A and B are shown apart, each in its own frame.
Chain A
Amino acid sequence: MNTFAEALQNLLHIFQGIETLINSSPAILATRVGLIALGVLLVWLGKRGTLEPLLMIPMGFGMTAVNAGVLAFPGGEQGTLFVNPLITDPSQLMTWLQIDFLQPIYTFAFSNGLIACLVFMGIGSLLDVGYLLARPFESMFLALCAELGTIVVFPVAIALGLNRGDAASIAMVGGADGPMVLFTSLMLSKDLFVPITVVAYLYLGLTYGGYPFLIRLLIPAKLRAIKPVKVKPQKPITSGEKLAFATISCAVLCLLFPVAAPLFISLFVGVAVKESGIKEYVSVISGPILYGSTFFMGLMLGVLCEARTVLDPKILILLGLGILALLLSGIGGIAGGYILWFFKAGNFNPVVGIAGVSCVPTTAKVAQKEVSRVAPTVVILPEALGANITGVITSAVIAGIYVTFIKASH
Chain B
Amino acid sequence: MSISPEVMASINDAGIVYATTAAVSFFVAALIKLIIWTVQRYNRGGKTE
Interchain CB contact (< 8 A) of B31 among A238, A252, A394: A252
- Is A115 close to B, CB under 8 A? no
CA distance A152 to B21 in the complex (A): 14
- Which A residues form the contact surface with B (CB < 8 A)? 132-133, 136-137, 139-140, 143-144, 147, 151-152, 154-155, 158-159, 164, 167, 235, 237-238, 240-241, 244-245, 248-249, 252-253, 256, 390, 393-394, 397-398, 401-402, 405
Residue on B nearest A249 in the bound complex, by CB: B28
Say yes or no: A237 contacts B25, CB within 8 Å. Answer: no
A159-B7 contact, Cβ under 8 Å, with A137-B26, A238-B39, A245-B35: yes
Closest chain A residue, CB of each to CB of B42: A240
Interface residues on B, range: 20 to 34
A402 to B16, CA, bound (A): 10
| Contact status A248-B10, CB under 8 Å | no
B33 within 8 Å of A by Cβ? yes
Known: A159-B7, A241-B39. A147 touches B32 (CB 8 A): no
Inter-chain pairs besides A245-B32, A256-B24, A398-B17, 10 sampled, C-beta below 8 Å? A144-B18, A144-B25, A154-B14, A235-B40, A238-B39, A390-B25, A393-B28, A397-B24, A405-B16, A405-B17
Using a Cβ cutoff of 8 Å, how many contacts connect chains A and B?
A: 89
- Give the residue among B3, B7, B22, B32 with the most A Cβ atoms within 10 A: B32
Question: Taking chain A's interface residues, is the majority helix, strand, or loop, or is none over half, making it mixed?
Answer: helix
Among B4, B6, B28, point to the contact of A136 (Cβ < 8 A).
B28
A297 to chain B, nearest CB (A): 26
Neighbouring B residues of A401 by C-beta, 8 Å: 17, 20-21
Q: Which residues of chain B come closer than 8 Å to A136, judged between CB atoms?
A: 28-30, 32-33
Give bound CA distance, A240 to B35, whole Å: 10
Given contact pairs A248-B31, A249-B31, A397 touches B25 in the complex (Cβ within 8 A): yes
CB distance from A181 to the nearest CB of B (A): 16
Identify 20 residue pairs between A and B in the complex whose beta-carbon atoms are under 8 Å apart, listed by A's number.
A133-B32, A133-B36, A136-B29, A139-B29, A154-B17, A159-B3, A159-B4, A159-B10, A164-B10, A235-B40, A240-B43, A244-B35, A244-B39, A245-B36, A248-B35, A393-B28, A398-B17, A398-B21, A402-B17, A405-B16
Known interface pairs A137-B26, A238-B39, A397-B25; A152-B14 also in contact (CB < 8 Å): yes
A-side contacts of B14, CB under 8 Å: 151-152, 154-155
Taking CB atoms, residues of chain A closer than 8 Å to B13 are 154-155, 164, 405
With a cutoff of 8 Å between Cβ atoms, the chain B residues found around residue A154 in the complex are 10, 13-14, 17
CA–CA, A244 and B34, complex, Å: 11
Report B-chain residues with C-beta under 8 Å of the C-beta of A398.
Answer: 17, 21
Distance between B30 CB and nearest chain A CB, rounded to angstroms: 8
